[in-house]
Amino acid sequence: MPVFYETEIASPLMLGTALYPSPDVLADAFRRSGAGVATVSLRRESAGGGDFWELIRELDIPVLPNTAGCHSVREAVTTAHMAREVFDTDWIKLEVIGHADTLQPDPFGLVEAARILSEDGFRVFPYTTEDGVLAGKLLDAGCEVLMPWGAPIGTGRGLMNPYGLRTLRAQFPEVPMVVDAGLGLPSHAAQVMEMGFDAVLLNTAVAQAGDPAAMAEGFALALRAGKLAYDADPMEPRDMAQPSTPLMGLAVLE
């Protein structure tokens, strides 16, 4: 199972808690998926009050607060400190958004905020791109986990740059990595695990499905299949056909 900051989680599925049609549906999705981490935002907790926080506690899994919607270093750092007080954890998913339409991370603000928070004792999970140079700077800033995007948040488009993600995985083979954002189908999650990533984080694909609990279970099964495939050392693609039945021993017809 994945290990983040010396903590082993029970599943490679990290599931968000926003957008569900009801608290009961949310709870059912978590039960059927066996998700290993619940991501929460300070804004969501403020809106839901104590009932929401009690529901999250009852899930009995690690909580990963995030700085969703923050567009500046100051805003992200302030939100992280508030989240640590509310959720009683030093884990923080760090988002510093640089573009309002694509929700692409601001690389400069992300590194600065990551350094500040790491020095303040946070265990930072940075939402980043597949850029290897940026990844190296985040590691230098104190991050021990990387969370590259699959596609822009909420698009459900799957992996927009598989080559870039494979390159990033190969560049930092020992760093725990979570593909975060843009996954829409369980097949996308299987593809992530087949590449050797440690986990996925998603929300919209489950919460806005016609049957969120069934979709959550589908993602959990796909993650297991992808991990099994990766561990099995799959064959390399070939350019030419190769028969699976040997030619020796075939009947000779005259």
227 is catalytic: no
Has 182 been labeled as part of a binding site? Answer: yes
3-state SS assignment for residue 30: helix
141 marked ligand binding residue: no
Q: Are strands 123-128 and 91-94 parallel, antiparallel or unpaired?
A: parallel
Cα–Cα distance, 90 to 80 (Å, whole number): 9
User: Is residue 203 annotated as involved in ligand binding?
Assistant: yes
C-alpha closest to that of 29 among 158, 178, 220, 226 = 220
- For the chain, count helices (H), then strands (E): 9, 10
Catalytic-role residue among 44, 93, 115, 123? 93
- 181 assigned ligand-binding residue: yes
Please state the three-class secondary structure of 140-207 as a single string: HCCCCCEEECCCCCCCCCCCCCHHHHHHHHHHCCCCCEEEECCCCCHHHHHHHHHCCCCEEEECHHHH
204 marked as part of a ligand binding site:
yes
Binding-site residues for 1-deoxy-D-xylulose 5-phosphate? 154, 181-182, 203-204
Residues labelled as active-site residues: 93
Task: Name the binding residues.
Answer: 154, 181-182, 203-204
